[in-house]
Each structure stands twice: as structure tokens, then as C-alpha cells.
Chains A and B, each alone.
Chain A
């Protein structure tokens, strides 16, 4: 099965989020993802990297985030790896905008956005790495999903 991989590594700082989005945009367009899906991929990866920086690495600079774009005939996958504190699904609170606004809460929507925009979101532990895979199904040549 044909599979193409493009990878890059960024330091754990929000300074590089723009670079991450450019990297995703370049290969998502090259893989002929429709423009709305390119935009969705950029946002989901931005949210995942922001969460790694803020939660896994607790805003400490000097760590690494490894990104890999894996292009398969039927799927466009972005794999994000870090070696910080693992994301605990059990502690995740499904966001409610009304109550967040009342509590003047400014964050907590990233995971929700990732799930809304992607077909699948997977979390794995690989050795000392935490891994998050953002998966978008590609339209097949006959035009269906």
C-alpha cells in the first residue's frame, strides 16, 4: 500500500505554531485535500500542539514535539508525539460554552475542536512517547468517502 511520510520537529513553544500550520497546509494541499479540510487539519494540529506545549510540557521550553504527516490512499493522518505528561482522558471535561463564560474560563476547547473536525482522534503511548493521531478520511477517486 502506498504510503508517504513527511516529518518535522519543533521546539515546545507557541512561537512555532505558525510554522506547524504552514507545514500541514503545504502537504495537505499537495495531497489534494479540499480547502475546507486543509483548514480543519491546520486547526486540529494547532490545538493538539498547543495542548502538548501547555499541558504535557507545562509551558516549559526546551522540549521537542515530533510531527509526522502520513498520507495513505484513503486517509490523511497527522501524528504528534511528545515525551511530557500524558493526556488523561478521565480528567477531560466536555466543554459547555455557557458555563465556561460564566466562570470566565478561557480554555478547554482544544480537544473538543479536534474531535469535531477530525474523522478519528487516537491517543497512544509508545515507549516514553505520548502519541496523538489526527485522522481525516480522503475522498476516494469515485467521489465517495
Chain B
């Protein structure tokens, strides 16, 4: 579970990248990103999810994105993220979807 807070741009994206890499190195491939406190995202932030989703799925996991504020969701939507990513209402729904997924 990763909680995002504040603004995700080209300056702060490396922090998220490092956090996801840490999870991967610890062989945690099923990630829930909680975006409730995320105020802003640019394409540099979205790029981090793009770069790792395939790897996590190949390892049997996923990156599920939960609780985005509408203005932040709009940016995900603009690039067609809802087609490729599991974007859910809240953490509970993300957990539920991990449970249901065939392992």
C-alpha cells in the first residue's frame, strides 16, 4: 500500500519510482496506490505507473489505483488510463479485486 500525498510532477516522480522499486525488490508485486491526498499529477507522474505496470503483472501482481480526487482522475482519464489500469473507489475495493483475481 502506497499513500500519495501532495503533488506528483517531474520533480517528485523519482520518489514514487523509488518507492515502487523498493516494493519490487522486496518481491511485493501487488500494490495499492491510495491517491486520496494527491492534489496534482502531470504526465511525469503517470509515466511511473506506465513504466512498472507490465512488470508487476508479469510477476503475478498488479498496481491498483484507489480514491483519486476528480481533478486528478481527469488527468488519468485524458490519457486513457482507465482502459489499462484498475482505478477504483477506495482501498477496500482494491483489496477485494486482488482477492478475486486468479492467483
Cβ A50 vs Cβ B78 within 8 A: no
At the interface, is chain A mostly helix, strand, loop or mixed?
A: helix
Cβ of B81 and Cβ of A97 under 8 Å apart? Answer: yes
Q: Cβ of A128 < 8 Å from any Cβ of B?
A: no
- The B interface is mostly helix, strand or loop, or mixed, namely helix
Q: How large is the interface on B (under 10, 10 to 19, 20 to 34, 35 or more residues)?
A: 20 to 34
- Residues of A within 8 A of B (CB-CB), count: 30
In chain B between 86 and 103, which residues have their CB closer than 8 angstroms to a CB of chain A? Answer: none
Q: Which residue of B lies closest to A53 (CB)?
A: B10
Contact A113 B43 (CB under 8 A): yes
- Point out the residues of chain B lying under 8 angstroms from A84, CB to CB: none
- Complex alpha-carbon distance, A18 and B97, angstroms: 35
Q: A interface vs B, CB < 8 Å?
A: 14-15, 17-18, 21, 36, 39, 42-43, 46-47, 50, 53-54, 95, 97-98, 100-102, 104-107, 109-110, 112-113, 116-117
